[in-house]
Amino acid sequence: MKVIIIGGVAAGAKAAAKIRRLAPDTEINLYTDDDYVSYSSCGLPYYIGGAFEDFRMLLVRTPAEFEKQKIHIHLRHKVIKIMPDTKEVLINVIDKNKNITKPYDKLVIATGARARIPEIINVNLPQVLPLRTLNDGKKLKELTVKSNKAIIIGGGYIGLELIEAFVKRGIHVTMVHNSSHLLTRLDADMSELVYDQLMSISHSRFDILLNENVIEFVGDKNRFYGAKLSSGQFIDGDFAVLATGIIPNSEIALEAGIELGVTKAIKVNEKMETSVKDIYACGDCCEENLIIDNKPTWYPLGSTANKEGRCAAMNVCGISESFGGVLGSAVTRCMDLTVSQTGMSEKTARLRGIEPISVTVTKDDKVGYMPDSNNITLKLTAEKSTGRLIGGQAIGSMDADKRINTLASAILARLTAAEFCMNDLTYAPPFSPTIDPLLNAAMMLRDKIINL
Amino acid sequence: MKVIIIGGVAAGAKAAAKIRRLAPDTEINLYTDDDYVSYSSCGLPYYIGGAFEDFRMLLVRTPAEFEKQKIHIHLRHKVIKIMPDTKEVLINVIDKNKNITKPYDKLVIATGARARIPEIINVNLPQVLPLRTLNDGKKLKELTVKSNKAIIIGGGYIGLELIEAFVKRGIHVTMVHNSSHLLTRLDADMSELVYDQLMSISHSRFDILLNENVIEFVGDKNRFYGAKLSSGQFIDGDFAVLATGIIPNSEIALEAGIELGVTKAIKVNEKMETSVKDIYACGDCCEENLIIDNKPTWYPLGSTANKEGRCAAMNVCGISESFGGVLGSAVTRCMDLTVSQTGMSEKTARLRGIEPISVTVTKDDKVGYMPDSNNITLKLTAEKSTGRLIGGQAIGSMDADKRINTLASAILARLTAAEFCMNDLTYAPPFSPTIDPLLNAAMMLRDKIINL
């Protein structure tokens, strides 16, 4: 059996390794237009920030290691066309500028997503770049070493993680965000709290400008001066990062007659099969099922890519396996602030036709007398008609994410707020207050639902 | 309505405050033989260790604050008899050495638990003391200030927390434990790992002697030399702590004809009612329902006491409320090591008639390239016949407990290992590996069950 995999960052690399374990005699060829394969792109902000200095720490497996397992990695080979009728792919060999055709029995599309490049004058200057690939990360790290001022366009996860990275490098940061709220997956009230808390720990090391648009980058290929905003303001900077979201690399699938989903990512069933026989998709290029309402969503995240790659591999090898979907669990850190989320926000619930009910509590995250105790703000959301938990948002110190995971289990299990109140969570002074904030919030939500 | 509450550390104090909120006109009298009321006894090791220096940080509410709410606190008033027939209690006023009788309409027993004092020669020396009350904590803190060497008898939670406290005070510690395994609620394999990891971070600051018994303390009221072991060894020390477990203060209930449970703690129903009308019990003196098998257990913990006090208060006030029971979730820290647990160990499962199946994994707790990444060892246990998750044990760095809580939600919701594998846990490099160790463990457990 000949398997071709397109793309090799997370899902593609995982699929290749898993197929090899399950089917030792399969011929596996992985094509990627990237210079690297099998790396942790989520780690790039920490590499840039100096948590470690050698980018090779980000590599999960090298091409040589894959080759030992007879997985053939073809770097700088861009698959430009899928031909399902003849079961072939057309590949552009970038360094030779020639095209070749290769046959497959099973094809795995793991083309990922790419940075969305906004329409800004001079967006192609060499000092303006996204952070998506390992090459992006290496270039950005080089820029940080010789710079004093950075501009970040966009206030999502990557943007916030880069604030931390640049501040750790002693670089002043100006973030320019085109809407009134950072982290658009959060409800507005929680997003405002993130903004307020970040401002309170900024100490002039970074600025965040909301409701501002960059209209032009000023400079040339040798020098960079900064960015002009639509408000007329000019922001000084030595370089700029485009953290303005990502787009699924699904065009190649669409052109091959493969069905896309409502999110414009590739539509797959629970076996990661696309609409075309013997073609699978996994990772950031495909859409997911939101477990809560069993409707499509798009959560391009490393953990999901990994699971989908594994699931696709098993089905490629004839072992029936299902990927159940996602809850939308995520976490990010900016300086000492952790922001985490699972399930639906109130906003998302309404968009998806569910009437939500929520409570928000701010509590100590440990017993107050412990020297490192801190605040955590938790927003818990349930479906109003049934009381079933559907989401949570947390802002606080390091383990805010773990409280979100405690909630994720409950959402997965379709517990109501009242049922969750029976939970027995661990207690000791260095870890939580006597009654964990999550239980406080659940009890308040239960009472709010009862008193409706 | 006249309410009398016996005991005022956690459950009793919580019950008093809650009754006042629900029933402003009730007469509330709280009697305790202690010198203090409403304090965090779980915080004593951190007070002793110097996390804070003023013991008043441990006080949740003072008698004066209670009095403002017309809750009458009677310190050093020991209730010595309950007379259900006449609905009275007999109280010894310690400082006047006289007895008084007080009537009640509703009685709440929150007598807690006391330290188990082992039979050791000279156990009554003033340099030998348990750590249970605030007074114990104050005495122990005084001893630490003028000492160089401590002896801890018993290797449970309190013993381990005191190792940390004494080491932080620069005092060398010898722990003497009378069995082969620390933390007896853990399975033997996990307990051995705790021992090994503690030894690896000891750096001669503390010793732990297993399978050893203290037979005699050597000294007099003015001087203390140390402890003789049954093996003949002599351990130097300036003082000794008895951390040899606790016993429920249930005798007063038994003598009044109130039924005790199989654990010798007071038997209560889900409304915290005892077998005698108008008498409630809550906190460490009463037994709980283990949610997993709906059979009695005894988990004397502060979080549970708090919930039970609240539940008893509501039912005292005529508001029907149920306490559903416990999962046995707990956490402790010793130095940089966190040990946490929920549900049944394999050992406990067998004792309770459930055939368990388990897996144990050791993984990075964060992505390996993050500078503060560490190991976490997780043992997950399911019921063999159904695959339902029934317990977990975690040993690792600070947030091992939060992973246990993620599991607690799943156990509460009666998820199987296979169902838990669908969970979507947050991922970012500072927080967890791409696939959280908890999911790794669940997938291994699912596969082990499938291949049975």
- Print pLDDT tens along chain A (452 aa): 999 999 999 999 999 999 999 999 999 999 999 999 999 999 999 999 999 999 999 999 999 999 999 999 999 999 999 999 999 999 999 999 999 999 999 999 999 999 999 999 999 999 999 999 999 999 999 999 999 999 999 999 999 999 999 999 999 999 999 999 999 999 999 999 999 999 999 999 999 999 999 999 999 999 999 999 999 999 999 999 999 999 999 999 999 999 999 999 999 999 999 999 999 999 999 999 999 999 999 999 999 999 999 999 999 999 999 999 999 999 999 998 999 999 999 999 999 999 999 999 999 999 999 999 999 999 999 999 999 999 999 999 888 998 999 999 999 999 999 999 999 999 999 999 999 999 999 999 999 999 98
CA A409 distance to own-chain centroid: 20
Residues of A in contact with B47 (CB under 8 A): 369
| CB within 8 Å: B402 and A405 | yes
The answer, yes or no, to whether residue B336 has pLDDT greater than 90, is: no
- Residue A164 forms contact with B (CB below 8 Å): no
Which residues touch A105 (CB under 8 Å, ≥6 apart)? A1, A2, A3, A87, A278
Residues A241, A244, A245, A247: what is their CA dihedral angle, to the nearest 10 degrees?
-90
| CB within 8 Å: A369 and B430 | no
pLDDT at residue B58, rounded to an integer: 97
Polymer length in residues for chain B? 452
- Residue B431 forms contact with A (CB below 8 Å): yes
pLDDT at residue A452, rounded to an integer: 86
pLDDT at residue A398, rounded to an integer: 80
What is the interface size between A and B, counted as CB pairs within 8 Å?
231
Nearest to A395 by CA among A374, A421, A411: A374
Q: What are phi and psi of A349, to 5 degrees?
A: -60, -50
pLDDT at residue A399, rounded to an integer: 84
Alpha carbon distances (Å) from A70 to A13, A65, A100, A128, B144: 13, 9, 21, 39, 63
Q: How far is B174 from chain A (nearest CA, A)?
A: 24
The answer, yes or no, to whether residue B356 has pLDDT greater than 90, is: yes
B366 three-state secondary structure: coil
Asked if the ipTM is above 0.90, the reply is yes
What b/e sequence results for A142-165 when a residue is b if at least 16 CB atoms lie within 10 Å of its CB, and e otherwise? ebbeebebbbbbbbbbbbbbbbbb
Write the pLDDT tens digit of every residue in B136-164. 999 999 999 999 999 999 999 999 999 99
| A residues 335..354 contacting B (CB < 8 A) | 338, 340, 342
Q: What are phi and psi of A41, to 5 degrees?
A: -70, -25
Which residues touch B43 (CB under 8 Å, ≥6 apart)? A367, A369, A370, A429, B57, B58
pLDDT at residue A336, rounded to an integer: 87
The answer, yes or no, to whether residue B397 has pLDDT greater than 90, is: no
pLDDT at residue B434, rounded to an integer: 94
pLDDT at residue A35, rounded to an integer: 97
- Residue B319 forms contact with A (CB below 8 Å): no
Radius of gyration for the alpha carbons in chain A, expressed in angstroms and rounded:
23
| CB within 8 Å: B427 and A307 | no
- Residue range B41-50: mean pLDDT, rounded: 97
Task: Name the amino acid, one letter, at A54.
Answer: D
Q: Half-sphere exposure of residue A6, counting CA atoms within 13 Å on the CB side?
A: 29
What are the start-end ranges of the E strands in A163-256? 172-176, 206-209, 214-219, 224-229, 234-236, 239-242, 246-248
Mean pLDDT of all residues in chain B?
Answer: 97
Write the pLDDT tens digit of every residue in B241-289. 999 999 999 999 999 999 999 999 999 999 999 999 999 999 999 999 9
Residues of A in contact with B410 (CB under 8 A): 409, 412-413
Q: Label residue B398 by pLDDT band (50, 70, 90).
A: confident
Which of B332, B368, B431 shows the shortest C-beta gap to A401?
A: B431
List the Cα angle B227/B233/B236 in 5-degree steps.
Answer: 40
For residues A325 and A333, is the Cβ–Cβ distance under 8 A? no
Q: What is the DSSP annotation of A80-103?
A: EEEETTTTEEEEEETTTTEEEEEE
For residues A13 and A305, is the Cβ–Cβ distance under 8 A? no
Hey, which residues does A341 pair with through a beta bridge? A330, A393
B362 three-state secondary structure: strand
- Residue B333 forms contact with A (CB below 8 Å): yes
- Residue B410 forms contact with A (CB below 8 Å): yes
pLDDT at residue B153, rounded to an integer: 98
Q: Label residue B240 by pLDDT band (50, 70, 90).
A: very high
Radius of gyration for the alpha carbons in chain B, expressed in angstroms and rounded:
23
| CB within 8 Å: B427 and A301 | yes
Which residues touch B65 (CB under 8 Å, ≥6 apart)? none
pLDDT at residue B246, rounded to an integer: 97
Residue A437: DSSP 8-state: H
Residues of A in contact with B40 (CB under 8 A): 367, 369, 429, 434
Mutation to test the A interface, candidates B424, B443, B447, most A Cβ within 10 Å: B424
Long-range contacts of B385-388 (CB under 8 A, 24+ apart): B385/B355, B386/B416, B387/B416, B387/B417, B387/B418, B387/B446, B387/B449, B388/B414, B388/B415, B388/B416, B388/B417
Share of chain B above pLDDT 70, in %: 100
| B residues 354..393 contacting A (CB < 8 A) | 367-371
What are the start-end ranges of the E strands in B110-223? 113-115, 128-130, 149-153, 172-176, 206-209, 214-219
pLDDT at residue B399, rounded to an integer: 84
How many other C-beta atoms can be found within 10 angstroms of the C-beta atom of residue B212? 20
A230 three-state secondary structure: coil
| B residues 192..231 contacting A (CB < 8 A) | none
Q: How far is A341 from chain B (nearest CA, A)?
A: 8
pLDDT at residue A230, rounded to an integer: 96
Which residues touch A65 (CB under 8 Å, ≥6 apart)? none
Laid out side by side, the sheet with A71-74 consists of: A71-74, A27-31, A2-6, A106-109, A279-281
CA B265 distance to own-chain centroid: 14
Evaluate if pTM is beyond 0.90: yes
For residues B341 and B330, is the Cβ–Cβ distance under 8 A? yes
Q: What is the DSSP annotation of A98-119?
A: EEEEEE-SEEEE---EEE----
The answer, yes or no, to whether residue B76 has pLDDT greater than 90, is: yes
Alpha carbon distances (Å) from B329 to A43, A98, B301, B332, B378: 33, 62, 9, 11, 14
| CB within 8 Å: B407 and A402 | no
| CB within 8 Å: B424 and A58 | no
For residues B258 and B251, is the Cβ–Cβ distance under 8 A? no
Alpha carbon distances (Å) from B451 to A359, A390, A410, B418, B445: 44, 34, 27, 13, 10
